[in-house]
Amino acid sequence: MRILHVIRQYKPVIGGMENFVENLAVHLKEKGIESEVLTLNADFSNGERFPEAEIINGIAVRRIPYFGSRRYPIALSAVNYLSEFDLIHIHGVDFLLDYLAGLKLIHKKPMILSTHGGFFHTKKFYLYKKLHFHTFTKMSLRNMSWIVADSEPDYETFKPISPERIELIENGINFDHYHTVAQEKGRKNRFIFVGRFSKNKRIDKLLDLVARLKTEFPDVHLSVVGRDYDHLKGEFLNLIERYDIGHHVTICEALSEENLLKEMAEAAYFISASEYEGFGLSSLEAMAGGRTAFLSQIPSFKKMVSDGKNGYLVDFEDMDSAAEKIKQVLRSGAHDSVRFAGVETARQHSWGAIVDKFISMYEMVQNEETAPVSKVK
Whether 220 and 161 share a structural domain: no
Query: Ramachandran region of residue 58, left (φ > 0), alpha (ψ -120 to 50) or beta?
Result: left
Asked if 330 and 355 sit in the same domain, the reply is no
64 to 32, 74, 79, 293, 350: CA distances (angstroms) = 27, 10, 11, 38, 32
Question: Which residues touch 286 (CB under 8 Å, ≥6 apart)?
Answer: 178, 192, 194, 264, 270, 293
Mean pLDDT lowest among 93-97, 253-257, 329-333: 253-257
Q: Examine the domain organization and report whether 280 and 161 are in the same domain.
A: no
Instruction: Tell me if 375 is assigned to some domain.
Output: no
Rounded average pLDDT over 62-87: 95
Same domain, 245 and 111: no
- Cα three-residue angle 261-267-270, rounded to 5 degrees: 90
pLDDT at 99 over 80: yes
Rounded CA separation 237/260 (Å): 21
- Residue 376 falls within a domain, yes or no? no
Mean pLDDT confidence for 92-100: 95
Structure confidence by residue, pLDDT tens digits, 192-243: 999 989 999 999 999 999 999 999 999 999 999 998 888 899 999 999 999 9
In this prediction, residue 17 has a pLDDT band, given cuts at 50, 70 and 90, of: confident
- pLDDT at position 375: 53
At residue 377, does pLDDT exceed 90?
no
Is pLDDT larger for residue 65 or for residue 45?
65
Residues 167 and 200 in one domain: no
Task: Report the pLDDT value the prediction gives residue 376, as an integer from 0 to 100.
Answer: 52
Count of beta carbons in the 10 Å neighbourhood of residue 372: 6
Average pLDDT, the chain: 92
pLDDT for residue 346: 95
> Contact at 8 Å (CB) between 359 and 33?
yes
Average pLDDT over residues 87-92: 97
Contacts of 6 (CB under 8 A, 6+ apart): 37, 38, 39, 78, 88, 89, 90, 91, 96, 100
Does residue 301 sit within a domain? yes
pTM of the full structure: 0.73
Rounded percentage of the chain residues whose pLDDT exceeds 90: 75
Domain residues for the domain of 30 are 2-172+350-368
Amino acid at 138: K
Residue 251: per-residue pLDDT = 97
Pair 116, 196 in one domain = no
At 120 the pLDDT is 60
Specify the number of domains making up the chain. 2
280 or 81, higher pLDDT:
81
Segment 96-110 mean pLDDT? 97
The pLDDT of 144-166, averaged and rounded, is 91
163-191 residues labelled b (16+ CB within 10 A) or e (exposed): eebbbbbbbbbbbebbbebbebbbeebbb
pLDDT, tens digit (0-9, with 9 covering 90-100), for 254-303: 788 899 999 999 999 999 999 988 778 899 999 999 999 999 999 889 98
Q: Is 331 in the same domain as 268?
A: yes
User: For the chain, what is the HEC assignment?
Assistant: CEEEEECCCCCCCCCHHHHHHHHHHHHHHHCCCEEEEEEECECCCCCCECCCEEEECCEEEEEECCECCCCCCECHHHHHHCCCCCEEEEECCCHHHHHHHHCHHHHCCCEEEECCCCCCCCCCCHHHHHHHHHHHHHHHHCCCCEEEECCHHHHHHHHHHCCCCEEECCCCECHHHHHCCCCCCCEEEEEEEECCCCHHHCHHHHHHHHHHHCCCCCCCEEEEEECCCCCCHHHHHHHHHHHCCCCCEEEEECCCHHHHHHHHHHEEEEEECCCCCCCCHHHHHHHHCCCEEEEECCHHHHHHCCECCCEEEECCCCHHHHHHHHHHHHHHCCCHHHHHHHHHHHHCCEHHHHHHHHHHHHHHHHHHCCCCCCCCC
Q: Does one domain contain both 105 and 182?
A: no
pLDDT in tens, 343-373: 999 998 888 879 999 999 999 998 876 455 4
374, part of any domain: no
pLDDT greater than 90 at residue 153: no
pLDDT for residue 123: 60
pLDDT, residue 148, reads 96
Return the pLDDT at 13. Answer: 86
Classify residue 373: in a domain, yes or no.
no
Per-residue confidence (pLDDT) for residue 166, from 0 to 100: 95
Domain assignment present for 133: yes
Q: Domain with 109 in it: what CATH number? A: 3.40.50.2000
Q: Which residue has the higher pLDDT, 233 or 121?
A: 233
Statement to judge: residues 317 and 246 lie in one domain: yes
Q: Between 216 and 154, whose confidence is greater?
A: 216
Query: Do 130 and 262 fall into the same domain?
Result: no
Check residue 290 and give its pLDDT: 97
- For residue 88, is it within any domain? yes
Q: Is residue 154 part of a domain?
A: yes
Q: Do residues 303 and 152 touch, judged by C-beta distance below 8 A? A: yes
pLDDT tens, residue by residue, 172-195: 888 999 999 999 999 999 999 999
Pair 27, 41 in one domain: yes
Q: Are residues 135 and 271 in the same domain?
A: no
Residue-level pLDDT at 196? 87
Give the CA dihedral 144, 146, 147, 149, nearest 10 degrees. Answer: -170
